[in-house]
Amino acid sequence: MAMEINVSEMRRVRLFEVMGRVDSTNATELGSTLDKAADDGNNNLVLDLSGVEYMSSAGLREMVRILKRVKRNGGDLRIANPSERVKEVLELAGLDSIFEIYPTQVEAVGSF
Amino acid sequence: MADVNSLVIAARLDDVRLACDMVVDAAEAAALDERAVYHCQMAVDEALTNIIEHGYEYEADGNTIEIRCAIEDDRFVITITDDSPAFNPLGHTAPDPGEPLDTREPGGWGIYFIRKLMDDVHYTRVNNHNQLVLVKNRPLVEAAQSLPASGDVEEAFASRVLDNGAVVIWPSGRLDSNTSPVLEQVLNSHLQRGHYWLFVDLAGVEYIASSGLKILVSAWRRANEHNGDLVLSGLQPRIIEILEMVGFDMLFQIFPDLDDALQAQSKRA
């Protein structure tokens, strides 16, 4: 399965539900989808990764880039429900201390 | 071991997925667990992406990369060969996972992941080609089963039959769901031959999961049914703690080291 992203506009947050594989062929697509939110002035972002079966460093790179961008604007990019494998990779890169990670989408959205 | 899969892809990102799929199939066939399969897929993805982006600089025309997967006893070996300009990816300094966000560059993590996710990685330049070899260790049971001669399974954990018919067994490393079946086979093969005095020296065991405990208890039961015993020695503090947690310290005779255990038995006999 290639990557799919569902975007929902919440009261204070824009929610992105990502599904499938995030790799070097489509990571920039993920990045530009998130960029669009920041362009619109939405800097409180939640990335629900529960449907991501695979993510390479190309996906992490885009996430870090967007995190830096929205933080500069006083916002945050928070992660909901990553799989064990994705969580392991986040930990290996030390990103578990840089991203706020929540076990559920509701908690991540509610954290703003 | 003739189990080899290979594939040649064009040097473009869209073809990386084909290689990933092939590696996943081969890794599963090599009996790697789901986590290890994921690690192999990610290491190959990162390596190929690097070659395409930096080695061939996105020039796919006429440029190819070969990926080979082989099972070599207890190792799953992935060899990636390309003819882009000489480049040793392992020569580059790794980024620091402790680096804070403000100074952190977003990228540069590919090689870091390859090193972290695989058990062994090396690079050589062969006939004007770059060759990157990625190795993942296979679980002990499957590796033992793929050895040709019978009796090799027992060698996975050393054991020795003493003059008085008692058997000493030295498991080592982790006794988890991968390795416990090996211990089970060793114990069962001795029990079947009528050796009902078993001395299991756990000095080399750093971790024991419930699967390992279960096997020790069922062998202990069989030994006792035949007026023998299964005696433990050399337990590291963490292992004692685990046994105490489940109350098995009351079940087994436990000695500080193997000599104490053997002496105690000779007095009983």
pLDDT one digit per residue (tens) for chain B, 269 residues:
446 899 999 999 999 999 999 999 999 988 899 899 999 999 999 999 999 999 999 888 889 999 999 998 889 999 999 999 888 888 777 788 888 888 888 777 888 899 999 999 999 999 999 999 999 998 765 444 444 333 444 346 888 888 888 999 999 888 887 888 889 989 998 998 899 999 999 999 988 888 888 899 999 999 999 999 999 999 998 888 888 888 888 889 999 999 999 988 887 76
Q: What count of CB pairs under 8 Å joins A to B?
A: 70
pTM beyond 0.95, yes or no? no
Q: Exposed, middle or buried by CB within 10 Å (0-12, 13-18, 19+), for B22?
A: buried
Shortest distance between the Cα of B209 and any Cα of chain A, in A, equals 20
Distance CA B148, CA A102 (A): 49
DSSP 8-state secondary structure symbol assigned to residue B52:
I
Say if the Cβ atoms of A57 and B116 lie within 8 Å.
no
Of B16, B102, B109, the CB nearest to A24: B16
Q: Does B103 touch chain A (CB under 8 A)?
A: no
Q: Distance between CA atoms of A60 and B45, rounded to whole angstroms? A: 14
Report the helix count and the strand count for chain A, using DSSP H and E.
Answer: 4, 5
Please tell me the distance in Å from A57's CA to the nearest CA on chain B.
Answer: 6
Measure in Å the smallest separation between the Cα of A30 and chain B Cα atoms: 14
Closest A-chain CA to B42: A56
Tell whether B15 is within 8 A of chain A (Cβ). Answer: no
A89 interfacial to chain B (CB closer than 8 Å): yes
d(CA A17, CA A5): 5
Chain B residues close to A34, C-beta within 8 Å = none
Burial of B267 (0-12, 13-18, 19+ CB in 10 A): exposed
pLDDT tens per residue, range A45-81? 999 999 999 999 999 999 999 999 999 999 999 999 9
d(C-alpha B240, C-alpha B224), whole Å: 22
Token representation of residue B53: 């982006």
* Contact predicate B136/B75, CB 8 Å: yes
Write the ipTM: 0.89
What are the C-alpha distances in Å from B138 to residues A44, A88, B89, B154, B175? 44, 20, 25, 17, 15
Looking at the complex, does the CB of residue B100 fall below 8 Å from at least one CB of chain A? yes
Contact B49 A54 (CB under 8 A): no
User: What does the DSSP 8-state code read for residue B130?
Assistant: E
